[in-house]
Structure 1
Amino acid sequence: MALLELKNVNSYYGNIHAARDISMTVEEGEIVTLIGSNGAGKTTTLRSIHGILPPRDGKIIFKGEEIQGLPSHTMISRGIAQSPEGRKIFARMTVLENLEMGAYHRRDRLDDDIARVYELFPRLKERAKQEAGTMSGGEQQMLAIGRALMSRPTLLLLDEPSMGLAPVLVERIFQIIEEINRQGTTILLVEQNANVALEIASRGYVLESGSVVNANSAEKLREDPKVREAYLGEI
């Protein structure tokens, strides 16, 4: 049984049909990526899974239970956490306070989880008492991912983690994403930078105009002439 399964999910923004019959699976332990141009439906799919944009029809099954239509704030206790597009950190709070907010639903000690985040992102330990809004874009991205990890998710949704980052930082962020996966967290990754996404993912789905138009192993997608031309900058 897949950890996450979407069956013919349709989601709308008002009258705009943004996700059209989306079907996909994510197996436990995988990194699966969604690639596509702006407006293809990638973020909409994540928002539908996380309950921010409940689908009008279709099924979203997580750990064998249907979760479509459940409020987004209940997802974190079910084991789904999201690092959102644009980071959305709490700018006036310190780094440590942001991390604590990621575990707002927990009543146990957070020391081990904070230590784990600091091990993954040593920069955050150095900045623990700093207001998050004063940090660089790369540091804020690290914080957004670290905050999501504080809930000990089974499934981590990452929305455009490389957006606006310098190439050297992109490489570092993706190394850390691989490490998070090696430590046992399943990852569903939305990423404009298809090159790096397909390097670390085991499988991928290509979205166009709200629909899945291709689904294959990352290796096969990298070799696909249409994918190479449209998303990898090759002809």
Structure 2
Amino acid sequence: MLNVENLEVNYGMIRAVQNVSFEVKEGEIVTLIGANGAGKSTILRTISGLENAAAGSIVYEGQDLMKLASKDIVSQGISQVPEGRHVFQGLSVRENLEMGAYLRKDRDGIEADLEIVYERFPVLKEREKQDAATLSGGEQQMLAMGRALMAKPRLLLLDEPSMGLAPIFIKEIFRIISDINEQGTTVLLIEQNAKQALQVADRGYVLETGKIVLSGSGEELLNSDQVQKAYLGG
């Protein structure tokens, strides 16, 4: 579904991503793990068209994403849940969800999908008319995920969904990620919480200072001495 080849992204003189290659197959959960500053979020932002690559290619279902604007990438079936959630303050929960469907014209379909989001995240239904800024961190993460799902993505990009959340919310967020995947959405997951990410992932890649240094199945990486020492406190 997604093929990233020899990707390089620079911030001025800093090489944030160096010759990175990986793939995401339809139906998978694939995770990129690594320390803060490893280049994970930069890769996701480049896939979404929010950063420009210096070299390499990003191909989604045969289409070169590097030739498309961000809004056109969304229209191809890719949605991103950004790091830090970035809900729209001053808008209600419902209005935030509707913003996720801004490219859609099927009013009846939008209403039906709103109900599906409310079934998946009951707390959002309870707070439907509440200003999104007044939600807790975990509730805002659920809102950001629900907003992305309103675009009906085939590929969902998740950037640090557990960041800053209480343990009870972290467990719930990863349960929801697995559920979304089981319902047919392919997931590319960026996470510092390596253990949780690898437990739900089919495959994973380990990034260090902008380079992929290790790859394997989620189980293989969980059991890797290198990963355990660096990220799991082993």
Q: TM (normalized to structure 1)?
A: 0.97
Structure 2: runs of 5 or more not aligned:
none
Could you say which residue in structure 2 is the equivalent of 1:221? Answer: 221
Query: Could you say what secondary structure the match of 1:174 adopts?
Result: helix
Q: Distance in 2 between matches of 1:206 and 1:69?
A: 27
Could you say which residue in structure 2 is the equivalent of 1:158? Answer: 158
Could you say which residue in structure 2 is the equivalent of 1:181? Answer: 181
Answer yes or no: is 1:90 the counterpart of 2:88.
yes
Give the paired residue count: 232
Q: Distance in 1 between matches of 2:222 and 2:138?
A: 27
Residues 24-33 or 68-77, more deviating = 68-77
Q: Residue type of the partner of 2:41?
A: T
Structure 1 residue 69, shift from structure 2 partner: 3.9
Could you say which residue in structure 2 is the equivalent of 1:126? Answer: 126
Write the mapping of 1:61-210 to structure 2, written as runs, cut at 5 A: 61-109=59-107, 110-210=110-210
Structure 1 residue 15, shift from structure 2 partner: 2.0
Structure 1 residue 143, shift from structure 2 partner: 0.2
- Root mean square deviation of aligned Cα: 0.7
Q: Residue type of the partner of 1:39?
A: G
Question: Contact 1:31/1:187 (CA < 8 Å) preserved in 2?
Answer: yes
Q: Residue type of the partner of 1:64?
A: G
1:34 corresponds, among 17, 32, 35, to: 32
Q: Distance in 2 between matches of 1:76 and 1:69?
A: 13
Question: Contact 1:8/1:58 (CA < 8 Å) preserved in 2?
Answer: yes
Residues 194-203 or 14-23, more deviating = 14-23
Q: Residue type of the partner of 2:17?
A: A
Q: Residue type of the partner of 2:84?
A: G
Could you say which residue in structure 1 is the equivalent of 2:46? Answer: 48
Query: Could you say what secondary structure the match of 2:66 adopts?
Result: coil
Query: Could you say what secondary structure the match of 1:51 adopts?
Result: coil
Residues 13-22 or 158-167, more deviating = 13-22
Question: Contact 1:55/1:69 (CA < 8 Å) preserved in 2?
Answer: no
Q: Residue type of the partner of 2:204?
A: G
Q: Distance in 2 between matches of 1:56 and 1:113?
A: 38
Structure 1: runs of 5 or more not aligned:
none
Question: Contact 1:48/1:54 (CA < 8 Å) preserved in 2?
Answer: yes
Structure 1 residue 112, shift from structure 2 partner: 1.2
Structure 1 residue 67, shift from structure 2 partner: 1.0
Q: Distance in 2 between matches of 1:202 and 1:32?
A: 6
Structure 1 residue 14, shift from structure 2 partner: 2.0
**Displaced runs of 4+ in structure 1, greater than 2 A?**
none
Q: Residue type of the partner of 1:142?
A: M
Q: Distance in 2 between matches of 1:54 and 1:68?
A: 8
Q: Distance in 2 between matches of 1:54 and 1:27?
A: 24
